[in-house]
Amino acid sequence: MILEIKDLMKSFPKKKDEMLAIADFDLDVEEGEFVCILGPSGCGKTTILRIIAGLESQTRGKILLNGKEISGPGSDRGMVFQEFALFPWRTVRRNVEFGLELKGIPPEERRERTQKFIELVGLNGFEDYHPYQLSGGMKQRVGIARALANQPAILLMDEPFGALDAQTRNLMQKELLRIWSETKKTVIFVTHSVDEALYLADRIVVMTARPSSIGQIYEIKWPRPRDRASPEFAALRKQILAQLESMVKMDE
Amino acid sequence: MSEGKVDRLDDVKELLKKPLIKNAIMTVISLGMFIMTWWAVSILANLVYIPTPWEALDALVRSFVEVDPNLGITMWQNIYASLRRFILGFLLALALAIPLGLAMGYSKIFELLAKPVVEVFRPIPPIAWVPLFILVFAYFWGPIMVIFVGVLFPLLSNIYFGVKSVDPILVDAAKTQGASRLQIFTKVVFPYTIPFLMTGIRIGMGIGWMCIVAAEMIGVQGGGLGYYILTQALTLGLYDKMFAGLIVVAILGLLTTGIMQYLENVTNRRMGIR
């Protein structure tokens, strides 16, 4: 077990009382597993990811990474952001090198160690470009390479393809699976797209509406690459969509 | 024959469509009209205070090649005196504004402590300090300190604003890459602020230039453009020379603004802003 989330609870102060955002969230993730956290917007799935990353603190509960409790952010958890969050003044290479630079690794070695990640995400030839010169899909390739180059134990992805157009998103999903199979990283991927979750995940964690907890977990054992047009894909998509819809109605 | 003429006319029309050439032509026309108006006014009004453009140009050229018999120096030396004050005052302002602005933006306690003092001093026009600064810092450092206060506040507010507008998602990204608080400052906050600093410098240059000329009119030793303009006009009554001084101030102002605009563009490109 690489990641254990135990009895996670998060509440925000709200005028006089408190607003419960996340309650009773328990999840164990296996080494090398691809887990999608799926839920309606505003359900707190991003908050869960940010707590795992150490960017926010939980009100109660524990998160263990390789058996050690997490407190605060650290380079053992790589994060990919929906907004890409690239440093605009750094070139592609210098963005990917960022984590190694923080660790004080000399330039020669940095270059050597990051080059393979730049190639892995298919950005060779673009090393000296600035982010503003890249398309959305390419920016997120940089985001993924930067997270991986730091050699984290797990990769946290917060709706990473949410800002991309439909065609680019499909291509990036395919690319992500290729990268995942080459690096064998554990991935926790937050999305609100049922289609995306079904295409990518080993396991889909469907969240309930606020206060969020785990509604249902689906194990997806289909081989990859998956066919979005296949009957079993369509059937499961329909089932999960109905489940999400009923939750949104309940919330109203 | 006639066809060739039409072609040439079309060529000229085509040339006029290019924005750069259009701009250049319009600038020449605009300045030409201004000089013509000046000329007309100087002849029609027939005032001693308004020489013709030709007289002003003559005085301008002479001021560079001849030692002024009343001041004992050339225009070059006046320019040198003003620029030296300008640069010294500017560097002093930078030396204080950069650390103060960064600290005010980054540390809440420092912001709360420094802000009331800054807000009290900000609305005072820089020129209002001249008498006090002449008394306290005397004739060499007095005008320099006027530049200093004039430039300080635009620099300070821009740097402070830059730190305040750092994109929080970039700080998050740095944290997940394992950055310490100091590293977040040196590798995210500081580079993010550089374009804002450049804007502050450009605005400060304009204000500083006005300050130096005004300060030199009130109290100065060892020449300077403000001193030159004031002395020629009010002490000596040499109005063509006064106009020569005005032209020099205008050209230097244009040059500094142009250079700064260029540097700002280069910096923005290097900092990844299109």
pLDDT tens, position by position, A186-241: 999 999 999 999 999 999 999 988 788 898 999 999 999 999 999 999 999 999 99
Per-residue pLDDT at A250: 61
* CB-CB neighbors (< 8 A) of B173 in chain A: 79, 81, 85-87, 146
Cα distance between residue A233 and residue A137, in whole Å: 25
Give me the residue from A74, A130, A146 closest to B272, CB to CB.
A130
ipTM of the complex: 0.93
Per-residue pLDDT at B272: 85
Q: For tokens 């060779």, name the residue.
A: A124
Cα distance between residue A92 and residue A125, in whole Å: 10
Q: How far is B163 from chain A (nearest CA, A)?
A: 15
Give me the residue from B170, B179, B273 closest to A85, CB to CB.
B170
C-alpha separations of A95 from A104, A154, A176, B183, B230 in Å? 15, 19, 19, 15, 56
Backbone phi, psi, residue A123, to 5°:
-110, 15
The reply to whether B176 touches chain A by the CB within 8 Å rule is yes
The reply to whether B198 touches chain A by the CB within 8 Å rule is no
Least confident of A32-41, A90-99, A237-246, B219-228: B219-228
In this complex, do B272 and A81 lie within 8 Å of one another by their Cβ atoms?
no
Per-residue pLDDT at A249: 65
C-alpha separations of B268 from A86, B174, B271 in Å? 16, 22, 5
Per-residue pLDDT at B219: 73
| Record: fold of B53-270 | MetI-like fold (1.10.3720)
List every span in chain A annotated with CATH 3.40.50.300. Answer: 1-76+174-252
Per-residue pLDDT at A208: 87
Looking at residues A52-63, what average pLDDT do you find?
Answer: 94
Looking at residues A151-177, what average pLDDT do you find?
Answer: 96
The dihedral through the CA atoms of A18, A22, A23, A26 has a sign that is negative
In this complex, do B170 and A75 lie within 8 Å of one another by their Cβ atoms?
no
Q: What is the CA radius of gyration of chain B?
A: 25
Q: Are strands A60-65 and A3-14 parallel, antiparallel or unpaired?
A: antiparallel
| Record: fold of A1-76+174-252 | Rossmann fold (3.40.50)
Q: Where are the domains of chain B?
A: 2-45, 53-270
Segment B122-141, tens digit of pLDDT: 999 999 999 999 899 988 89
CB pairs A-B closer than 8 Å:
71
Say what percent of chain A tops pLDDT 70: 98
Q: For tokens 């050209």, name the residue.
A: B251
In this complex, do B191 and A89 lie within 8 Å of one another by their Cβ atoms?
yes
Q: How far is A50 from chain B (nearest CA, A)?
A: 10
C-alpha separations of A114 from A110, A149, B243 in Å? 6, 6, 63
- Report, as ranges of residue numbers, the positions in chain B whose pLDDT lies below 50: 1
In this complex, do A132 and B272 lie within 8 Å of one another by their Cβ atoms?
yes
Per-residue pLDDT at B18: 80
